[in-house]
Amino acid sequence: DTEVTQTPKHLVMGMTNKKSLKCEQHMGHRAMYWYKQKAKKPPELMFVYSYEKLSINESVPSRFSPECPNSSLLNLHLHALQPEDSALYLCASSQGGLAGYAALEQYFGPGTRLTVT
Amino acid sequence: EDQVTQSPEALRLQEGESSSLNCSYTVSGLRGLFWYRQDPGKGPEFLFTLYSAGEEKEKERLKATLTKKESFLHITAPKPEDSATYLCAVRENTGNQFYFGTGTSLTVIP
């Protein structure tokens, strides 16, 4: 099973709201990612968790707050977003670490389409 | 700086007209090169991983190849359902970060 699930599929929120995006995988992957994707652009990395610890934060504004409660779950907490934050938010997972040639590819979820009004 | 470049940006093919997409990369040490297919509004779908120069992978009408500086995704006798954006990504020897190209938007006309 190579499935990554994301909820909700669609989210509309005002600039003063607080909401959370959720991601789950059961592949035993120890690296999990959040990406932001605008139309006709490639995914843009936001955060990487490796073994439940934040390892990469690509200078993302503090209105985005990631959380990794356990090795299968990844959340993205949203607060006081701006209209330009409207995008497709993608979660992905991969095998973490540097050992050998285990399958390294990322598997993506279907995404959450976020609209900020 | 590490860089992944894909060409062409867009490609229109007649059904059955074979072609190739290119992904060139510059990284300090390649751990893997990955091809994904993405349909509008959906998450990228994993296609292939290539680890070393000379390696080839095939799946239905798609064949991916790798050299020391670039990868090609060959599409043989494409069908309209192959229409999508094809993304290339690389992963370095160190760390968990993936670098994406800007993608090739493929349209196959019946």
pLDDT, position B29: 83
The arrangement of strands across the sheet holding B62-66 comes to: B3-7, B19-26, B70-75, B62-66, B56-59
Chain B residues in contact with A92 (beta carbon < 8 A): 43
Q: Which of A54-68, A99-113, B54-68 has the lowest mean pLDDT?
A: A99-113
H or E element, residue A31: strand A31-37
Query: Given an 8 Å threshold on Cβ–Cβ distance, is A2 in contact with B46?
Result: yes
At B1, the pLDDT band (50, 70, 90 cuts) reads: low
At A99, the pLDDT band (50, 70, 90 cuts) reads: very low
> Whole-number mean pLDDT of chain A?
91
Please give the Cα distance from B38 to B41 (Å, whole number).
8
Query: Given an 8 Å threshold on Cβ–Cβ distance, is A50 in contact with B96?
Result: yes
At B34, the pLDDT band (50, 70, 90 cuts) reads: very high
Query: Given an 8 Å threshold on Cβ–Cβ distance, is A96 in contact with B96?
Result: yes
Q: Which 3 state secondary structure label does DSSP give B60?
A: coil
Higher per-residue pLDDT: B108 or B92: B108
Minimum-distance CB partner of B103 among A6, A42, A56: A42
Distances (CA, A) of B45 to A12, A48, B87, B91: 25, 19, 9, 17
Q: Which of B107, B93, B101, B94 is nearest to B34 (CA)?
A: B101
pLDDT at position A102 over 80: no
Residues A5/A21, Cβ–Cβ less than 8 Å: no
pLDDT at position A117 over 90: yes
Which tens digits make up the pLDDT trace of A36-87? Answer: 999 999 999 999 998 899 988 888 999 999 999 998 999 999 999 999 999 9
